[in-house]
Amino acid sequence: MKRRKFIKKTSLLSIGLGITNDAFSNIHKEAINLNKDALPVVIATWDVKLATKVAFATLINGGTVLDAIENGCKIEEANEKGQSVGKGGLPDRNGNVTLDACIMNSKGDCGSVIFLKNIKHAISLARKVMEDTPHVMLSGVGAEEFGYSMGFKKENLLTEASKKAWEKWKKTSKYNSIINIENHDTIGMLAIDSDGNISGGCTTSGLAYKMHGRVGDSPIIGSGLYVDNEIGGAVATGLGEEVVKTVGSFLIVELMRQGHNPQQACEMAIKRIVNKPNSNYKNFQVGYIALNKNGDTGCYSIQKGFSMTKYQSYKNVNITSDSYLIS
């Protein structure tokens, strides 16, 4: 259904029947009978089959859905070859690798770390913020000090390869957002266990050669990640500024609450960015993935080249995302 037609239809429906958002939510809840055959499911942004495999194995071996998310994200944080997450991430323009991450559980609790230096497993530290502090976010030196107090190791996150890339970049110092860094960017992961419990995580070194102190969407609950255990979850990758401006992940979950499937919701959230007045969308990438309570999934991006990895029914596959721009 075309977007305008859809909006017209839903608003007529809601005006005519006096249906409130709460009522939509209740209708949706009643419609959900857990599809046990489809569960569990793990999905992640980009081609990260080892990460989804580890997350799925965690679930199968009796770990919680939150353990699955943490273990899966840690794989990419430790992968020094990936230059957009954890150790080996490309630095800011001053040569500092700074990490952002967040995590959200099925009870709606969340934790995040922003502008974190010298600690590789930002996702684990975000979980500690959620579980062991009265807060939701810790930033910079405070996050780092909290990490050491929790036993996290201090290490240099700038690898030789990333240092070389930064030194080369410095020769021109031209700042452009890079579309699809090596087809492997921020890792966003969502999982649902066989009882229908959903959690999610998002971890990144952010945009390469960003200004020192810059924070994107990835550690911001509602932008880079959102989970509502009654409905589903969504995560984002790409130009964080644009995701923040449209509160992308929360938007997708709310669209699913209104009855859209994950694919439709991802497409509508991308179109929200594209259709903004004076949108510069041809020059940047944003990609979303989403999962609902039935284990249905969706993904969509602005530019070609985005993909989602999905582990379901003992199959681990990388799925090329459809995109708004087709060339």
Q: Which residues bind ligand ASP (CB under 6 A)?
A: 84, 185-186, 204, 206-207, 216-218, 237-240
**Spacing of C-alpha 223 from chain mean position:** 8
Q: Which is nearer to ligand ASP, 105 or 218 (CB)?
A: 218
Q: Which is nearer to ligand ASP, 46 or 146 (CB)?
A: 46
Catalytic residues: 186
Smallest gap from residue 41 Cβ to ligand ASP (A): 22
d(C-alpha 288, C-alpha 299), whole Å: 5
d(C-alpha 232, C-alpha 182), whole Å: 29
Q: Which is nearer to ligand ASP, 207 or 270 (CB)?
A: 207
Q: Are strands 137-139 and 225-228 parallel, antiparallel or unpaired?
A: unpaired
Q: Which is nearer to ligand ASP, 177 or 294 (CB)?
A: 177
**In the complex, which residue's CB is closest to ligand ASP?**
240
Smallest gap from residue 243 Cβ to ligand ASP (A): 6
Helix (H, G, I), strand (E, B) or coil at 37: coil
Q: Which is nearer to ligand ASP, 181 or 268 (CB)?
A: 181
Smallest gap from residue 46 Cβ to ligand ASP (A): 9
The span from the first CA to the last CA of the chain, in angstroms, equals 23
Q: Please list, in sequence order, all residues whose beta carbon lies within 8 angstroms of the beta carbon of residue 197, skipping any fewer than 6 positions away.
A: 64, 65, 106, 229
Alpha-carbon distance values, 223 to 153, 162, 239 (Å)? 29, 27, 11
Smallest gap from residue 45 Cβ to ligand ASP (A): 8
Smallest gap from residue 32 Cβ to ligand ASP (A): 30
Q: Which is nearer to ligand ASP, 240 or 295 (CB)?
A: 240
Smallest gap from residue 217 Cβ to ligand ASP (A): 5
**Sole residue written with tokens 């029947």:** 17
Smallest gap from residue 150 Cβ to ligand ASP (A): 24
d(C-alpha 85, C-alpha 97), whole Å: 10
On the CB side of 75, how many CA atoms lie within 13 Å of its CA?
A: 21
Q: What DSSP letter does each residue of 96-127 carry, written as one string?
A: ---EEEEEE-TTS-EEEEEEE-S-S-HHHHHH
Computed from CA positions of residues 288, 39, 231, 136, in that sequence, does the dihedral angle turn out positive or negative?
negative
Contact 285, 179 (CB under 8 A): yes
Contact 194, 36 (CB under 8 A): yes
Q: Which is nearer to ligand ASP, 91 or 238 (CB)?
A: 238
Nearest to 102 by CA among 79, 81, 76, 73: 73
